[in-house]
Chains A and B, each alone.
Chain A
């Protein structure tokens, strides 16, 4: 499996954020997107996820399951944790597992254990701290198997344990021939990872 983008251009609100960006990631590889705030890291991830149309350029997924689109084979972990505060932790995760088509993968119960939330499974998600909410979002990636992970600042609100856990989960995903695109400021503990530097705002 190989994910590549070529000559991608992003325009937001009439302003060009980046242009002529290309990348290629193969199975078992991680690509870190680096750059200052506003460089378009998140935009590039949303573009790959199919949530933002590229102004120019193209994305291609080679050697993959043909009846599934790129977006349907990708996990997107954005700034927001898509949780409903009146549903319990377990209900939230079970919903996303079923909605995202969790035929394969660890399943919700095992995923909760992996991220260390098994003891708060019955608690309404509204009571979780920011770090716990992020852990619950990471549990989604474990519960449902999808080969491409798009991570936007995944470690931003996690404690040291959480970051170690995230690194472990990501390494396991890479070992299973997954691929990861991650926008980050902090080192994610992935070694070796290739880097793509996005510059400052273009004129």
Chain B
């Protein structure tokens, strides 16, 4: 347990130090959210209608940013060799790394989402619900991305491959996350069903992601 806690703390520390990825995600998120209204024009009704979708797509892209270095950085400096030789099971070690990534990249996005929602003319109660869907859904993005991060190690210089491999897998999360957010704003569709499916997707990916990533890393031993 101390080994996993040490790994979690180290990764979080690295993320908030100079050159870390923690603030970069939020900054990128801010850029996406501020640029879209310039693109679609000053139609407040339209902005409120597509607001949750923009927040979700911004969060998805911000999460992917830096995910390719999650394991590759440790591979490049030899840390991954020692992580493989540690007492902690590899599945839990990569899960700890993914958790650190979510706490430093995903969670700040969730916290920033209510503020950015104002830019998109989403009203008070709906902002809370969109933030809630992001809180529940963004761990799924990180843990699905973990599989891609492991592939980026196995296939050297596979950084560009990561979004191509990971984005299709995140489509269900995106669909149900936005469906739950829309339900809250339009009051047209039920909120419960898509929200519960979103929770299910997150729980599934939290289990499958680390197992698959560890399998990829072990297979890549050569």
Among A56-64, A74-82, A114-122, A161-169, the one that faces the other chain is A74-82
Do residues B17 and A83 form an inter-chain contact, with CB atoms below 8 A?
no
Using known A-B contacts A80-B78, A82-B78, A84-B77, determine if residue A99 contacts B83 with beta carbons closer than 8 Å: yes
Do residues A51 and B87 form an inter-chain contact, with CB atoms below 8 A?
no
Do residues A51 and B221 form an inter-chain contact, with CB atoms below 8 A?
yes
Query: Interface code B49-90, partner A: CB below 8 Å = 1, 0 otherwise?
Result: 000000000000000000000000010111101111111100
Interface residues of A in 41-82 (CB under 8 A from B): 49-53, 68, 71-72, 74, 76, 78-82
Among A30-38, A90-98, A192-200, the one that faces the other chain is A90-98
The interface on chain A, measured as residues whose beta carbon lies within 8 A of the other chain's beta carbons, has a size of 27
Among B2-10, B118-126, B150-158, B198-206, the one that faces the other chain is B2-10
User: How many A-B contacts are there with CB distance less than 8 Å?
Assistant: 80
The answer to the question of B45 belonging to the interface, with a C-beta cut-off of 8 Å to chain A, is no
The answer to the question of A100 belonging to the interface, with a C-beta cut-off of 8 Å to chain B, is yes
What separation, in Å, do the CA atoms of A51 and B86 have in the docked complex?
A: 12
The answer to the question of A113 belonging to the interface, with a C-beta cut-off of 8 Å to chain B, is no
Do residues A50 and B82 form an inter-chain contact, with CB atoms below 8 A?
no
Do residues A84 and B85 form an inter-chain contact, with CB atoms below 8 A?
no
Chain B, interface size category, equals 20 to 34
Do residues A50 and B84 form an inter-chain contact, with CB atoms below 8 A?
yes
For B20, give its contact among A71, A79, A86, A99 (CB under 8 Å).
Answer: A86
The answer to the question of A172 belonging to the interface, with a C-beta cut-off of 8 Å to chain B, is no
Query: 10 closest A-B pairs (Cβ-Cβ)?
Result: A80-B78, A98-B6, A82-B79, A86-B17, A82-B78, A71-B85, A95-B10, A99-B3, A99-B6, A101-B87
Which residues in A have some Cβ–Cβ distance to B below 8 Å? 12, 49-53, 68, 71-72, 74, 76, 78-84, 86-87, 91, 95-96, 98-101
